[in-house]
């Protein structure tokens, strides 16, 4: 498992040349996904919606999604939690992040309509951070395995998003970050030397270190529920 994750990190950290190959241009228009949004699950107080990183195994993501969900269950006392794994390829194809963007928005809209009192914590790691960025209106076009925005959460859903947790976010290597409506409820962690989110970073292992930040991220989210 670790070998495959290391290969994924090496692929993502291959420098400017790889970024050019892996990321679509800002003018590219990814084809719409044909998959229907998943049906809404039983209503919980909070749903954790997690977009895993490239080739990342695990239910919500071995490195980030799973440990963050486990930590949040301990910290969000008195609240029921459910989870949703964003349905997308999480590979190096030019339309991967766009498919995740559309699925995340479709799912959260469906879930919010079915469960009006439910709140959401959005979690994205590596390519999954691109997915979340796009979904809240921050384009990841030009970033490694990024994509132009194909869907955004509507204004009616925005107040239901309690927290946005991002790890190894590729747009940071472009000098970008989450701004605007979601900025105050966003925790965007970039490990020192992580070449995916730090321009000039040279520590590939740093991109695999984000399990260490699960408690910090869960505490941030729990404080906003």
Catalytic residue among 96, 126, 140, 147: 126
**Is 126 in the active site?**
yes
Q: Are 218 and 163 in contact (CB under 8 A)?
A: no
Which residue in 111, 90, 110 sits closest to 99, CA to CA? 90
Catalytic residue among 66, 87, 103, 194: 194
Tokens found for residue 34: 């044909």
**Is 207 in the active site?**
yes
Which residue in 197, 216, 219 sits closest to 208, CA to CA? 197
Q: Is 75 helix (H, G, I), strand (E, B) or coil?
A: helix
Catalytic residue among 96, 140, 147, 207: 207
Q: Are 100 and 56 in contact (CB under 8 A)?
A: no
- DSSP per-residue codes, 202-223: --GGGGG-GGGGHHHHHHHHHT
Name the maximum alpha-carbon separation found in the chain.
Answer: 49
**Is 83 in the active site?**
no
Catalytic residues: 126, 194, 207
């Amino acid at each position: 498992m670790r070998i495959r994750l290391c290969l994924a990190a090496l692929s993502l950290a291959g420098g400017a040349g790889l970024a050019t190959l892996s990321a679509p241009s800002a003018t590219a228009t990814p084809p719409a996904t044909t998959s229907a949004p998943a049906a809404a699950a039983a209503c919980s107080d909070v749903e954790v919606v997690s977009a895993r990183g490239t080739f990342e195994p695990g239910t919500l993501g071995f490195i980030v999604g799973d440990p963050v969900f486990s930590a949040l269950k301990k910290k969000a006392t008195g609240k029921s939690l459910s989870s949703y794994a964003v349905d997308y390829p999480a590979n190096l194809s030019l339309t991967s992040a766009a498919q995740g963007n559309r699925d995340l928005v479709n799912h959260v809209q469906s879930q919010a309509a079915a469960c009006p009192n439910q709140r959401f914590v959005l979690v994205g790691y590596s390519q999954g951070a691109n997915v979340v960025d796009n979904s809240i209106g921050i384009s990841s076009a030009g970033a490694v395995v990024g994509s132009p925005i194909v869907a955004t959460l509507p204004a009616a859903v925005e107040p239901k998003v309690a927290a946005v947790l991002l790890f190894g976010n590729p747009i940071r290597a472009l000098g970008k970050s989450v701004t605007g409506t979601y900025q105050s409820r966003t925790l965007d962690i970039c490990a020192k030397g992580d070449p995916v989110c730090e321009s000039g970073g040279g520590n590939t292992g740093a991109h695999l270190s984000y399990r260490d930040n699960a408690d910090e991220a869960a505490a941030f989210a729990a404080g906003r529920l």
